[in-house]
Structure 1
Amino acid sequence: MEASVGFVAWRYLLPSTPQGLHGTWKGDRAILTWQTVDAVDEYEVFYRRPGSHDTAPWCSKSSGKSVMAEFDVHTGLPYEAYVVAKNWFGSSDRSSKINGCARAPAPTQFTVVCDPTKPLLSLKWNQVSCSVGYVIKRKSAMESDFHIITTIDSSYITQSQDTNIIYGMSYTYMAISLDRSGESDSSLSVVVCPRVPVPNHFAASTPKGLSATVLLNWQAVPNSIAYHIYRRRAEDPIYQNPILLMTLRNPNANSYLDQTVINNVKYIYTIASEDSAGVSLQSTAVVGMGALIAPNNLSAEPVHGNNCIILSWTEVAGALGYRIWRSGGQPSTEKEIGLLSHEYNTKYVDREAKHETAYNYTVQAFDKNTKYGPKSNGVKAIVSKIMPPSERQKTGQKATVPVMVDVRFGDLITENVDAIIVCLSSDELKNKILNAAGHSVSLIFASVHQRDINGCFKASGGLLPCKNIIFVPWKAPAESLDISEQSIRTFIIIALQCAQQHECQTVAFPAVGCGGLGYDVHTVAKAMVSEAYKQKKSNSQTSIEDSTIPSTWEKTSDTYNLRVNVPVNSSEGQAVLLDFHRTMTNYDSYSRIIRIERVQNERWFLQYQIHKSEFHRRLQQDTEQRLFHGCAGGESAVKSIVEYGFNRSLAGTKHGKYALLFIEFIFIPIFPYLLECFFQIGTAYGLGVYFSSKASESHNYTKLSNSISMGERYMFVCKVLVGKTTQGNASMSTCPAGYDSTGNGSTIYVIYHDVQVYAEYLIIYQ
């Protein structure tokens, strides 16, 4: 009984079992807490791994008031633990067991940074020392779930890269720690949208051997989808911000040739890349400038037996004309012998070359900004003297002197050629020529003509600048036009044969039948030129000089199409639209360019070229300007202008009669023309045809077309010879003496001679 009582007393003195055991497991540390037990000297905490048969104390606390224990654990491994309270009398019963597993904490300071030069994202985070590695997960804007892109098996590696990205796509990233149990906590997610970088090494240069061209180069950006090139003039007072010049949809492109520049004008360029999210920022600006180049492929072909050498070369883009230089002979110093004021003229005939004299020729281009461009390589030529006819007769050789037919606009009386052709049936022309040539020539004519009234004969030029006068019999038939045209061709053949017989090199023809007979000058001119070319082909030594048709013109069955579509995105189309966009100050006036047409009126173009040469000779400068003309008469008026040119007699009115311009028969036209056009532009600066350097001003005088394609407007881009201009007023029916045009002194020009303009392009827009 006493032993039993003692045991109870002893048990009563033992500490109570600890209650409320709770564990916090994190990283490589475990923290246990429990409720305080009275009369305790210390606590002992025991642990073991599940399945282990050994139990070992973690640590013990000597304070009876302690209710917490902290100790190291292996991250990612499960544990079970309990607590025992102890005093002088012994130990309490074990507390309830607690299970736990300390997991690696999430990585902190997780960042994702885009590389500015290439498709690469750099990921970084702080080290989790108790982890065994990391997992990087990602999802794109098009994905709903994360997926692993990288697994790292070391806690010391705290950075990674992602190169499998698409510019413009949004991505979400997270970093997750790994421990012995697998994936632990994840970091905060980071959203990033890598944008395509600006192309590097953007540069502008003047390409060698190319005129009116700027070469742009850059380093291609991987994974970009396009490049946008912007441009503006460096000294443009209106547009200070760059305007989109071109979009290249080739992601591998690394260069572009801008062939729409004006030589010696500075342009500022920038470039931007494009990705699926849009266009990047623009690059640092670079400056480019085109420059005239020396004409290439210069050749000199002597026409033996004549005092002439034919020069030809390759057209220089952007040139307004060419200067021809010659050295050799007396004096031997180089001098300028010719000037061609049109970019398409790439041939020149030196008619002052002396026989058996060596000459060296060079050619240089010029434009509005460059008076003297670089000279071409020199070429040498010597023209040989042909054997006299008397010597040829002795040796049995036939005369093979070539005939040079010089077709140009002018008065026969003033032509300085080897021979002028006079039609014997044209009394008015014949008498005028004889009176100007002098009495002695008239006597010779009367004597010869009396002996052979139907023959072709030659007389001296007398007081005229020409060396000879060739009289050719011809009587116009009264039958159909076809018979008349054939008769004209016969007249040309007889005249050329007679000129060749008398060793004449340059010949000037009248427009036969266009005076009192009233023949259509277009038909006559066409027949004359056509037959002259035919004779040239039949005699390889015959040379004909005429104004050169632009190489860009297109033919169908040997006939130039009057209207040819020009692609808007071509270099030619962009060049046409450059000034149109720049001077159409009110962009609300139009919404889109429908198409561009090139006007190919051979007759009109050649006549304009002749007039242009005369302007340059008279004024000693190039006064050609590219101006706009708004067409108010719709498609019918456009067709009339394209076929017949502008008619100033209708200026200031809405309707008018057809006006037919006949060139007086003492002139030598290439293609005179019918004139028709409707106007609604008023006569504030004179009764002529109005043009403007601003497309916005010409736009005000267009009106909507009534065609099926509703809303179309028509505007011509014209070459205009403004010459010497003065202030105009509404009372001027002709241009004041000493001037070639009137206007407002700034943007508007009025011309009074229809050959001063050629409609080069037609812009149809809405």
Structure 2
Amino acid sequence: TSGYVKSDHTSTFNTRFDINESGDEIEHKNFTNDYVRPKTSSTRTVVNIYNGSIQVLRGDLTKQIVDAIVVPSTSACLTAYVLREAGECVQTAHEIEMQNNSMQSISVNCNGVLLCEKIYFIPCSKLSYNPDKWTFRNFISEAITMATNEKLDTIRSIAFPAVGCGKYNCNSDFVAKTLIMAAAYELERQPSLKLDVYFVIQLHQYDVFHAFENVLKFLNINGSSNMNNQSYTIETYVPSKPTTRHNNKNEFTIEKRLLDYSSNEYAMVVQSFCTTMTEGLCKEMLRIELVWNNRWYKQYEIHRDEFNQRLKINTEQYLFHGCSQFAANNIIKECFNRSYAGQHGTKYGHGVYFSSQASYSHSYTEPNTRGERCMFLARVLVGNATIGTKYTKICPRGFDTTTDGSYIYVIYHDAQAFVTNNQPPLESFTIQQCTAEDEDGAIAVCLKTGDSGNDASLLFNDPKVLGYRFVAPYIHLSPDLAFVLKDSEGNVCGYVLAALDSVSFYTQYVNEWLPKMKQLYPNIPSENERLKEDWEIIYGFHNDNLQSFKLFDDYPSHLHIDLLPIAQRKGYGTKMIHRIENELQRRGSTGVHLGMAPNNTRALHFYTKLGFTILANGQDTMWLGKKLV
């Protein structure tokens, strides 16, 4: 898609800055005695969520004027620094509390020494050089729970360090996304909660601060960001295959035509753009143009077929690319060739950059003389992605793209992207009974959606182990209730799996499936031999029993569903849920439940729209259910 923009203001965001603090182990020379009041800082990055907010600051944790600050008690240096700044009374109170609750979260009053009222010390025993998202999520959840449980209801603001970004040097993008999304989940889960959440980053940690700032900018939730209200007019170049066929003598023809605003294609492009563009940035959509470059398409088609054959899965995604109008005209003629490498920076590799967030791509657009900007919507072959660095000049062996691990993708091949919105029509996807031939494709989908809906390929050494836990058992033990979503070329793009009676299914799983897995994985790997996620699943293969699984008497059936991005937001998730509900009802089920990651707010919205309600909320899993009678 390409877009033209008319800007009423030159700055896009208000950014808030303060002074100084790290995540865990710290160097005392980095601290100053200065502080800035969070409430009156001149610039800020803030996202409002119902009655609360999330903000990122630069500063010293102990100098913030907030109601409570949070310290990971297993971080010796940070704990020692905070206690020294807090004074002897707080040190004594902390020592007494630790004697009684050495491995539990504790709350200590500050008694007027620091600018806060409370200090929450929360253990993070699993904090290490290998970041664990659940450790970070629990750190946030535990602190906010402590704040909401205060008897006097006086905690209205709370400040966190960037835990993990000091001594352990964890990936700042991963930490920022995990911590901020955990805070967002808590505020969305409790709409009446009046709590301002601050993340405080040391002054010298520029990359960490920008990582947190970027996550806030692209946070797509039901809240109103305090941003300058820019007005935009957007034109999108979206090349699409024309209705007339090309013959060989017209092989190099390039066509461009306006897209009818009443067409389904127009609506799909607008939806893709608006749902990922920061509110207030786009004033008007001028036009969407369909462009067809036949030579470019043929090159892309060959590349796509090779990807599908090699990977056994469709990894094509629709991603944005922002640029100047001059560059857009050249791209239409010559495609995304290597001359564009590095023009959007080199932080994640020296290639051509794309993003699933229009807001991110907007920052690389340039206004023309009329104040209009352009942006492309392209089909991109993501393939196997790995985290990129500024030193990545060619894609590492075994991978097809580099990424930030979230919404940025970098390609290194001219034919790996094709500028088009020629998305498969709804009827090109079909829901079919799953067969043995579909198993590998379904397992691949499980991996590509295994990190709270995002690609989990980087989290596992064994690409099949996740599917052997969550997909294959249903195909083998409950085949009548296993369905897949296929595209027009027969690629598996999603699945919905269910068990009619959870007790019977889990009994079969323990007695029939686990012995096969123990034979396939005879040894439990140590944590330094495999990534943590491999270790946990294989450990479960050797130790799970019927008591390991959550059961609900009023919701005896359970289901599991995942869709690749290419099949999302087209109504197929709803169709597949309805299909499996009908199958369960036909077999006499009275209710169905499912588990999901607590931080996956988009999935929660999807399920609640379909009539599911929250049954239980654990540390790692939220359980939802729906009556079928």
* TM-based fold match above 0.5: no
| Structure number with higher strand proportion | 1
Give 1 or 2 for the bigger CA radius of gyration. 1
More helix by share: 2
Higher relative contact order, chain-length normalized (CA < 8 Å, sep 6+)? 2
